[in-house]
Structure 1
């Protein structure tokens, strides 16, 4: 419909809402598609009834534009103003969190804010992270680290997994577990994935210019989020970066989780096949964590199978986990897929995965994380 239609819709909704409000109530546009209603001298129960009445009015409304009819919905957050209320900004923030909770619970509903509401607290924390993530992207405050992936037959390996960290406003590094949930929930993973791809390709170009290329080129593994499979432009973006930085596709391996691959199976498979034709490789990460692991493995064109660290971590003391790892390794080899043991943290675990015959391993028993900028393969 465009911006003009949006403005007309908001004007129509304003008139609709005012027709259902009391004379003492105040309606205002807060920004974008957000409207605020101030209910004066209105007890919570009456406010809830009025909010639900407004929601129903919007639900029944049909917006007609250019001979088309559109349904409209509203998610409403309700906040009580009393003698414990603080500043106006905090009240608006609470209302914003309540709106997010209403959307999260299925949209087109009213959610009453409560200080003890854990759902709201979590949403509020993620909303704060969204602002921090956008700021970090704008000011290039992400940093890449690597963890080498070692061959277990003793031969040289020039392969490593890329891991992302965010540098806070105070310069302190922040682990991905703190910011990735918000990035996934609020559609920032596409931007993060593209940032990482660009940074890795740029690094490989810099390394090529710094020193003569080795006989065995470096291969860096990039974790790719599940939502990226639905990005129709990502394939062209990757090819563009390869061309811009002069990167051989064989230097890149994308790691996808079993869960992400299953969620967008057909798109994931098509994406993988297109890039494999030019030499890009793929790892299936955290293998064994899903309920239908082997069934999907038969259909996915993967080059590496990364065995879930949940099974590897205590492999030296848990016979069931050892049997699982042995079975996964055997199936992978039968299918011509190279296997990688993740989370190899102790000498005992390293000895076990080597005895089983796994091809590669990574973990603190072999190598700690180091900044990508200082990483020297084979050193």
Structure 2
């Protein structure tokens, strides 16, 4: 459930404007006032003049890291209450992030549902703390009033005794109420998230000394927003109360149940085996999905997405458990809802993201310490020509000295938006190598979608070309069809800016998109590289042959040269000759090798 309130203000801090735009876009449903800063200094200046209700802060920023920004914020007593949610590409900074005062973290790339859920949670907690502070002020006022009255009525204790006792009782009731409110959710009267985490921590600490099997069930109601939108928030609150009663009836008094926020609930329970825990979870799922919620003339049924996590020695803290449960529940949501994911069964899939994130520091280290290396593959003309064309390829040198292919690190770099740093590294090294080549040599260099989308892309390329005295016509930039379509406006602008200089462009992996021909007609590229999936079996598959023939015909009608990739047999090459393809590339002609071996003849 999203808490929409224009009264909230959220400060997003990231040195990358693209990330800022992503965060603002994701948080738009909150209808909060968004403040942005692209540096730590700018963030501190904003906070000094208009402290926000919550800060989304990138850890890795130049000049002043997010950790230092957090330290300075928390050093000011006036700002210590502001919750700070860290963004990071690696978990290695998490311990320090919590140590300096962060309340939570999200691993990049940011997912909309996760970001909204985390922000909602901490805004709600912040609001509750503020309410408690106000209540404490009120309590102090009552106490002061009581003490004054006691002093004033000392001379007449007997007459004032009844009223005095009444006021003392009222103070105790108020204290009890405050204690209850601080530990329980107002709507469901269950433990709130903070108290739930405290209870779970105590159980985890006690469980270390015995052989008890504990299981944590995290529940997220599907389609809860439908009730709010259809019948209003009063109806939504009533649904939450009824679901809470259902859960109480399904578990014993020894089990710990809480509302984690929004439409999320959690239960910590003890059973003798995982099999029995799964059966209990199935019973909960059946009960909730079989329940009919009625409001006026409307009736609703809900499914649930849930995560079941067995507590074992691999889970070292409550925050670790919550992170696992939320990620596992997200897997259930991702499947369309109505699913229960058991972490022990899906651990390999869920932990894949964490394994990938461990590669991110390796990529950063490779960029900083020159542990990438360039390879090349020949692009051979069907009809011999003077120009020599090669495609520049990148490889990663592992810590063991072994060469890692791009498939092991490029997709991860793209996913976590650090691919532009690799692009810049390749451009620098390729331009430096090209500076020593004859004028009839042309390098084909791949550009990522993230790099194309940068407003500084053309400037970066021009500056490098000037620095290394590279003739633009010696460079052909390859842009995959998917990247071009995803960044169509940026692609148009890059072509319009650089083609007049003499730079060439190729549309790579052509034919894999849903509107390939439309974009071939729209983009003024110099080359089209037909995706290998159509070429690899061209000598055996008539459909593939017709596809290649069709693409080549349309390209030639526009005056575009055609390159066929993945040529592995002489038979395939003979067919390309018959189709009047201009160039071919593949293992039949040349297996990629180190660029240091390239000797133009």
DSSP 3-state at the match of 1:196: helix
CA distance in 1, matches of 2:419, 2:325: 24
CA distance in 1, matches of 2:368, 2:326: 27
Partner residue in 2 for 1:44: 216
Whether 1:145 aligns to 2:375 is yes
Distance apart, 1:79 and its partner CA: 9.3
Matches within 5 A, 1:1-379: 1=11, 2-3=43-44, 4=47, 5=51, 6=55, 7=73, 8=79, 9-10=82-83, 19=182, 20=192, 39-41=201-203, 44-45=216-217, 49-52=258-261, 82=311, 84-86=312-314, 88=316, 114-117=343-346, 118-205=348-435, 207-208=436-437, 214=438, 216-378=439-601
Distance apart, 1:217 and its partner CA: 2.5
Alpha-carbon displacement from aligned partner over 1:47-88 (angstroms, at most 9, x marks no partner): 7734336989xxxxxxxxxxxxxxxxxxxx999674x31474
- Aligned positions, number: 336
RMSD: 3.2
Larger radius of gyration: 2
* Cα distance change of structure 1 residues 345 and 48 upon mapping to structure 2, 3 Å threshold: farther
Q: Is the 8 A contact 2:196 2:258 kept in 1?
A: no
CA distance in 2, matches of 1:291, 1:359: 25
Q: Is the 8 A contact 1:258 1:284 kept in 2?
A: yes
Alpha-carbon displacement from aligned partner over 1:128-160 (angstroms, at most 9, x marks no partner): 122221222222211111101011112344111
CA distance in 2, matches of 1:129, 1:17: 39
More helix per residue:
2
* Cα distance change of structure 1 residues 162 and 99 upon mapping to structure 2, 3 Å threshold: farther
* Cα distance change of structure 1 residues 99 and 164 upon mapping to structure 2, 3 Å threshold: farther
* Cα distance change of structure 1 residues 289 and 38 upon mapping to structure 2, 3 Å threshold: same
Alpha-carbon displacement from aligned partner over 1:247-285 (angstroms, at most 9, x marks no partner): 111111111111111111122111111110101100011
Q: Which runs of 5 or more structure 2 residues have no equivalent in the other structure? A: 1-10, 12-42, 56-72, 74-78, 85-121, 130-181, 183-191, 205-214, 218-254, 266-305, 335-339
Q: Is the 8 A contact 2:310 2:344 kept in 1?
A: no
DSSP 3-state at the match of 1:340: strand
CA distance in 1, matches of 2:216, 2:195: 18
DSSP 3-state at the match of 1:164: strand
Partner residue in 2 for 1:33: none
CA distance in 2, matches of 1:277, 1:48: 67
Q: TM-score, normalised by structure 2?
A: 0.51
Q: Is the 8 A contact 2:538 2:572 kept in 1?
A: yes
* Cα distance change of structure 1 residues 221 and 101 upon mapping to structure 2, 3 Å threshold: farther
